[in-house]
Amino acid sequence: MNKPVSTRYIKLEQLVDFAIYHLDARKSNIGIWSDYHQAFLISKYEGSVKPEVFFETHWDTVNELGYWGTAKPLKQLAICPDKYRAIVSSDAWRSNSAIATVLDYLDNLEAELTSDYNLNLLQQRQKQAFGWRDYQIKQRNSVIGNSSVPNAVV
Q: Cβ neighbours of residue 86 under 8 Å, at least 6 residues apart? A: 92
Distance CA 80, CA 112 (A): 15
154 occurs within a structural domain: no
In a domain, 153, yes or no: no
Residue 77 lies in a domain: yes
Q: What is the pLDDT of residues 29-82, one digit of tens each?
A: 889 999 998 999 988 877 666 778 888 999 998 878 788 888 999 999 999 999
Confidence of residue 136 (pLDDT cuts 50, 70, 90): low
Q: Which domain holds residue 27?
A: 5-142
Please tell me the total count of domains within the chain: 1
Residue 53 lies in a domain: yes
Is residue 151 assigned to a domain?
no
Question: What is the pTM for the complete model shown?
Answer: 0.69
Tell me the mean pLDDT in the region 74-100.
Answer: 81
